[in-house]
Structure 1
Amino acid sequence: MNKYRFIVLGSDQNAYGQVRAIHQITNEKVDVVAQSQLSATKYSKIINLKIFPDLLDDQQFVKHMIDLYHEFDGKNVMLFPFPCGDTYVGLLARNSDILKNYFTFPFNSYQLTDKLTDKESFIQIADEFGLDHPKSLIVTPDNYHKIEYDQLGSQFPVALKAVDSVKWLDVKFPGRKKAFILDSKSEVDAVLEASFNAGYNGNFILQEYIPGGASTDRVLNCYVDQYHHVKMMSLGHPLLEDPMASAIGNYLVILPEYDHELYQKVKSFLEAINYTGFANFDVKLDPRDQQYKFFEINLRFGRSSFYVNLNGASFAQLLIDDYFSDTLKDQSTLYCNDDKSKHVLWTAVPDDVFKNYIKHDPFFLEATELINRGSFGDTLTYDQDLSFKRKLMIWHFKSYYRKGFKQYYKNKKEGSE
């Protein structure tokens, strides 16, 4: 192979961030494949976009991907699929036996993928390898009438979240949220009844509530090479989350952070289970015992992962070094954010939203200092892709958050989502 090319799967803000990162390396248009186009990728001059309405059907996904491969057949090109979201990760994982013959991607075994994405088995694996987690119960359509709340310790409030995040996307009922913080048994029962009646047939995970709100949240993105060695770790401290019910838990402002002990614990875990590729952890720092509690692992980079790029690492470059040039194995692990003087704040909201809704956070001053010295950035504002229409789109995109906070935000406890 004498050349490589990326195929970004998805058209949301996460996808655009990876397009931008790839363009910074190649200075060429980037191929993007999606079921539909979302606003984040509109009016871009650095994207070759292909829309396939049937892309989320496994059989059609495989067909479209192989057709894309044949567009480059004979051109001596290594093709990297770049999944931006759980749905695309699942499509690649389920069809990896076929697609690995055409594409280069860090596939984990289906058995490991299944164990890690199932929240119940993840808890078992976390226990085995010493990762602390909230006390948890798995709730099924069969046992939800007889939940043993005493196993959660202090009982209420509790956090409730669907185990199957892909199925949950299609569930609609009044009051539906990405995750719930509930104050009583009757509230839990009402949400479960509504969910099952709306057609959700998967399980839920019910967890003890970790106090402290969003200020205790942490997000950790990692990359593990083809030899199962962790090569990059980047910790972020979210300061603001989306207040809208369908997007609770989506981070909107992230301050880079460094924690050597946490890095080493997660590095040992990933290497012990022979992991490969991208990993994203949702973590909380429990103020009761000052221990990090792990909620889940996502087998992808996070939705807000452009904070990683702003702070000195590139998922695209890691893939190139790992599989194309095979030089990553000789590089030391990059533990990001150890130098505070180089920190860059990632934000997805307008300045007034940042100031109005983070001003009481103990890290507000630190974040403000970064803004004052110009050490901040967002995902969508890329100086090599700023036509008038795109500037207008970005303005509208951020204004959406201004309206959302005004309508939905209130000072309330935030849960373990």
Structure 2
Amino acid sequence: MPEADRHDFDPSALLPVVVGGDIGAYALLRAFHEEYGVRGVAISSVEPSPFIDTRIADVLVQRGIADETVLVQTLVELAQQHPGRIRLLMTNADWFVRTLSAHREQLEPHYRLVLPSPETFDAVSDKERFAALCEKLGIATPRTVAVHLPDLDDDAAVAALDVPLRYPLIGKPASSADYHAVDFVGKQKVHHFAGRAELEIVLLRLRAAGYAGTFLLQEFVPGGEPQLGSLTAYRDSHGEVTLLATGRVLLQEHTPDALGIPAAILTGDFTEAMEPAARFLDAADYFGFANFDFKQDPRTGELVFFEVNPRIGRNNYYVTAAGHNVARFPVEDLVAGRSVPQERATAHLVYSVVPRLLLLRYLPERALRSRVVRLMRQGRVAHPLANPADGSPQRRASVLAMTTNHVRKFLRTYPRPTDTGL
């Protein structure tokens, strides 16, 4: 445990609680354990594989937490079981952010919520409103057409839809939280359309599934995956952006349910994204963690911003591994009650959840590959689940299996690198 005199509060009183059981939830609780020596709690509807045989957190499996009444009741009961603890509540899933934020009045007597308000959540998580604010601030976004599904009342309306954009197109919901509950054949987190026929098939399926939200169509910004960037930020309750961390995406997941989520990141690149991201958060009067996705247009060198997620991302451990433990920022803010000087993460290391040789296979650009190999040889590599404090034989075997399983998945869904990452 860190030395007690590093803090003007009792670190052992902290109880971080994360709703979710994915890699990001484990990484967040790992950050708290590394910084403060405390075990947190992960709440999941199933036994989460990233937490197998963990020593750094307790796992509460509660069926039915997709029901907001069940989730809120579970959280209140958990808080009552830990009187006297300083309980911080977090999540890294949009649909849980919305639910927890909407029930703020019921939860605030029990937790310090590291979450934006419902109004702010709606303002920034809706990709249409995000683009509108970016335009106002002079931040570049892709050319976009918004398709409001209730306006497509029959097949003829789909066929007649005017889409004045150049293919290929990217298709995604304006609200990930709304999209979460919709199910249809071929559903993907992000859709890629090479032509009109593919687009119409998905729009017809969305309409048949009863999706009542807005579906965004965007012109594809050219370039491969290493042109993509990720930025993690924290804006505190005093209105100060205290954390900015960027990274170059080396490889994305390619399974339908995780398409577009980074699997490997080179930290410290694209620092020029920090200023516009901070400006956006200030303009939105945002509070909490935020995660931006953007891409450098190879034609102009300009950074084009796609969206901001109103939460910390699945890959948040890239920030902690780069020397800026993400747990410190909400604790300094909501527990110590102070703004801290802004930290900008610029250190270079390779964050990856895939085997090293698999990652190198998907890096055909010689200069970038050489950078990654050099960092690997220097030991500057981080895997969020490979935790020295969590090293039982059972767990090590489980993490190895989850890591090597990416070989099979990539060979099936993305067998060789392409110039576009598609």
TM-score under structure 2 length normalisation: 0.91
Secondary structure of the residue that 1:24 maps to in structure 2? helix
What is the CA-CA distance between 1:261 and the residue it aligns to? Answer: 3.7
Deviation at 1:170, TM superposition (A): 4.2
Structure 1 counterpart of 2:376: 371
Q: 1:23 aligns with which of 14, 24, 33?
A: 33
- For structure 1, the 5+ residue unaligned runs are none
Q: Check conservation: 1:252, 1:349, Cα contact below 8 A.
A: yes
Task: Give the TM-score taking structure 1 as reference length.
Answer: 0.92
Once the two structures are superposed, the pairs formed by residues 109-188 of structure 1 within 5 Å of their partners are 109-141=117-149, 142-143=151-152, 145=158, 146-150=160-164, 152=165, 155-188=166-199
Backbone CA RMSD of aligned residues: 1.9
Question: What's the counterpart of residue 257 of structure 1?
Answer: 268
Structure 2 residue identity aligned to 1:20: R
* Contact 1:254–1:345, Cα closer than 8 Å, also in 2: yes
Q: How many residues align?
A: 405
The answer as to 2:211 corresponding to 1:200 is: yes
Provide the identity percentage: 25
Superimposed CA distance per residue, residues 212-256 of structure 1 (whole angstroms, 9 cap, x where no aligned partner): 021210000000111111001000101111122222101111001
Secondary structure in structure 1 of the residue aligned to 2:327: helix
Which amino acid counterpart does residue 147 of structure 2 have in structure 1? V
- Describe the shift of the 1:212–1:37 C-alpha distance in structure 2 as closer, same or farther (beyond 3 A): same
Cα displacement (A) at 1:370: 0.3
Correspondence for 1:233: 244
The alpha carbon displacement at 1:174 in A equals 3.8
The answer to which of 242-251 and 296-305 deviates more is 242-251
User: Displacement, 1:355?
Assistant: 2.1
1:266 is paired with a residue whose SS is helix
What does residue 65 of structure 1 align with? 75
Contact kept in structure 1, 2:16 and 2:41, CA below 8 Å? yes
Cα deviations by residue, 1:296-316 (Å, 9 ceiling, x for unpaired): 110111111211111011221
Name the structure 2 match of 1:37. 47
* 1:15-39 deviation per Cα after TM superposition (whole angstroms, max 9, x unaligned): 1111211111232322221122221
> What letter corresponds to residue 163 of structure 2 in structure 1?
Y
Q: CA deviation at 1:175?
A: 3.0
**In 1, are the aligned partners of 2:228 and 2:249 still within 8 Å (CA)?**
yes
Q: 1:215 to 1:362 in 2, by over 3 A?
A: farther
Instruction: Indicate the residue corresponding to 1:336 in structure 2.
Output: 345
8 Å Cα contact 2:88/2:114 also seen in 1: no
Aligned counterpart in structure 2 of residue 5 of structure 1, from 15, 27, 31: 15
SS at match of 1:245: coil
Evaluate the alpha carbon distance shift between residue 361 and residue 186 of structure 1 in structure 2; reply closer, same or farther with a 3 A threshold: farther
Deviation readout 1:64-92 (Å, 9 max, x if unpaired) = 1111121123x2x2210121222321221
What is the distance in 2 between the residues matched to 1:40 and 1:259?
Answer: 29
Instruction: Please say which of residues 373-382 and 265-274 is displaced more in the overlay.
Output: 265-274
Map Cα deviations across residues 276-322 of structure 1 (whole Å, 9 max, x no partner).
Answer: 11010010111222211111110111111211111011221111111
Residue in structure 1 matched with residue 309 of structure 2 by the alignment: 298
Flag the 1:413–1:147 CA change in 2: closer, same or farther, 3 A.
farther
**Residue 261 and residue 343 in structure 1: after superposition, are their counterparts in 2 closer, same or farther (change >3 A)?**
closer
2:4 is matched with: none
The structure-2 alpha-carbon separation of the partners of 1:262 and 1:351, relative to structure 1 and needing over 3 Å to count, comes to closer
Q: In structure 2, what is the equivalent of residue 396 of structure 1?
A: 401
Which whole-Å CA distance do the structure 1 matches of 2:300 and 2:207 have between them? 36
- C-alpha separation between the residues in 2 aligned to 1:172 and 1:92? 23
Extract unaligned runs of 5+ from structure 2.
1-8
1:287 alignment partner, SS class: coil
Q: From the superposition, tell whether residues 70 and 166 of structure 1 become closer, same or farther in structure 2 (CA, over 3 Å).
A: same
Q: Is the 8 A contact 2:362 2:417 kept in 1?
A: no
Answer yes or no: is the 8 Å Cα contact 2:277–2:292 preserved in 1. no
Cα separation, partners in 2 of 1:169 and 1:362, compared to 1, 3 Å: farther
> Is the contact between residue 161 and residue 180 of structure 1 (CA under 8 Å) also seen in structure 2?
yes
Structure 2 residue aligned with 1:275: 286
